[in-house]
Copies of this chain bind each other. A is one copy, B any other.
Amino acid sequence: MSVTIIDVAREAGVSRTTVSNVFTGKDKCSEETRLAVLAAAKHLGYKPNLAARSLITNQSRLIGMILPSYVDPNTLTSSPFYNIIMDSVYSVLRNEAYYDLIIFPVQYKEKLVQVSDWIDARNVDGILAVGEFDRNFLKVLKSKSIPVVLIDNYSQTSDANFSYVNSDDTTGGYLATQHLIEKGFRNIALCSVELHGPLMQKRYQGYKRALKEAKLRETVFDKTGVPFEAGIQYAEALIAQGLDAAFCTEDMIAVGILHGLLKKGVKVGEDFGLVGFDNIYLGYQVYPELTTVDQNIFEKGETATRTLLNILNHSNSTGSRLVLPVNLVEREST
């Protein structure tokens, strides 16, 4: 019913091999026949069937993205970070013919096995894993023998050896805290959610170092739950404990604290210094605008996608391991 390569071959008066060659660009044929084939294809409305192609080449032209949505059931909704990553992936994929993205938001940690089946069933060509996944899961990925690029993962062992793109999280924590100190704040809290995670630990290390250098004491707030809500709660505790500044390991927490502080009539930026981390849009949409550590999420996603595509398209590519720089964006909250 649909128009196939055979129809095109007949119409153009060539064999199907030739038609195939024209479309895959594998074998060169005379410019004349090439044009004839293209004309015939266009005339008949022929489009290669990717499933058939996939069956024989064993390439799906599908990139699988894995998101740990067990951290938050509605990952895409609650965390702008992932949206930016997605947009950046599409911005790169748009220029690559026939590549599509399929996403597996992992609802429960226990369901990581399902991801394995999914990878097999869809036969994805490569994987973009965003966020923290433990070693066992990385082993599973390794067993697939397909290219993998990790974003923000710190559990890699030497035997996994995947390409990755991270940010300089420790420096980020350091810069944020140092900035607060320079601004004259002395009682600086660290506000986090799930601080035990490897990534948050890095940011925490930066905070610690800055405080140590300035001979200041650390105060840590940590809990599990929704970052924004945690921030709301931290605001009260911050006031109660007489702290005058906070470095938040995520912008979302800072936005919550800002909300809580404003409600209490605290003049954020003057009487209280607040710094976030990520530089999501939200940070400059609120008022006063949030000082934060910019990790250039979009570039991170682009870089990771390009890295993956590189490995995919050039079998000799060894991939790459990158740590992107980070920088402080001073706005109104400090």
Contact = CB atoms under 8 A, between A and B. Distances in A.
Contact of A281 (B51, B77, B102, B103): B77
A96 interface: no
Given A48-B121, A50-B121, A285-B256, A77 B80 contact: yes
A94 interface: yes
A317 B90 CA distance: 34
A125 to B, nearest CB: 12
A285 B228 contact: yes
A102 B101 contact: yes
Contacts of A117: 47
Interface string A132-158: 000000000000000000000000000
A84 interface: yes
Interface in A231-288: 255-256, 258-259, 262-263, 281-282, 285-287
Contact of A287 (B51, B52, B259): B259
Interface string A77-110: 1101001101100110010001011110101000
A322 interface: no
A90 to B, nearest CB: 5
Contacts of A87: 74-77, 105
A300 to B, nearest CB: 13
A259 B331 CA distance: 14
A219 interface: no
Contacts of A286: 259, 285-287
Nearest to A94: B107
Contact of A54 (B47, B51, B120, B255): B51
Contact of A120 (B47, B83, B120, B285): B47
A55 B51 contact: yes
Contacts of A75: 87
Residue of A75, A117, A285 with most partner-chain B CB within 10 A: A285
A307 interface: no
Interface string A291-334: 00000001000000000000000000000000000000000000
18 contacts: A47-B117, A47-B120, A49-B55, A49-B123, A51-B55, A55-B55, A75-B87, A76-B83, A76-B84, A76-B90, A77-B298, A80-B80, A87-B105, A101-B102, A101-B103, A228-B285, A259-B285, A259-B287
Given A51-B54, A55-B55, A78-B281, 11 more contacts: A47-B117, A47-B120, A47-B121, A76-B87, A76-B90, A77-B83, A80-B83, A94-B107, A101-B102, A101-B103, A285-B286
